[in-house]
Amino acid sequence: MSRPNFSLDDFKKWMKDHGDFSVEHFERKSLEGTLVESKISSRKLAERMVIEKGNLHEIAQDFKKNGGIIVEVNDRNFLVKVDSGTFYIPRKYVTRA
């Protein structure tokens, strides 16, 4: 009895086509709720943040000092929540705490 051929590319395509069961979905969900901290200085952080709610300088200082929690993942950006507000930041500027 011969075994069927297994193609990793075909499997990835199948996973991508099945909506909520895609690899990207699980990666996004696994990052939500993760505690993160800044890789860069407060000044550079303030330049790269997009504020959703709160004061830019307060949020930058709060995040640099205490870190924050990922609330949502959008492509290569994280929506991060800190005590003083929420902001978007590219994922390359943060690291797990």
Give the model confidence (pLDDT) of 42-54 as tens digits. 889 989 999 999 9
- Return the sign of the alpha-carbon dihedral for residues 33, 34, 40, 42: positive
Q: Is residue 25 part of a domain?
A: no
User: Residue 50 domain-assigned?
Assistant: yes
Is 0.75 topped by the overall pTM?
Answer: no
The pLDDT tens digits for 1-38 are 566 677 888 877 776 776 555 445 545 567 888 999 99
pLDDT at residue 2, as a whole number: 66
Q: In the prediction, which pLDDT does 75 show?
A: 81
Range of the domain at 51: 34-96
> What strands, in cross-sheet order, belong to the sheet with 94-96?
50-53, 85-90, 77-82, 68-74, 35-38, 94-96
Residue-level pLDDT at 42:
85
Answer yes or no: is 77 within a domain: yes
pLDDT at 64: 93
Which position has the higher pLDDT, 90 or 11?
90
Q: Say if 59 falls within a structural domain.
A: yes
Asked whether residue 6 is domain-assigned, the answer is no
Helix (H) or strand (E) holding 82: strand 77-82
Total domains in the chain come to: 1
Q: Looking at the domain assignment, is residue 28 inside a domain? A: no
State the average pLDDT over residues 61-89.
93
Query: Is 47 within a domain?
Result: yes
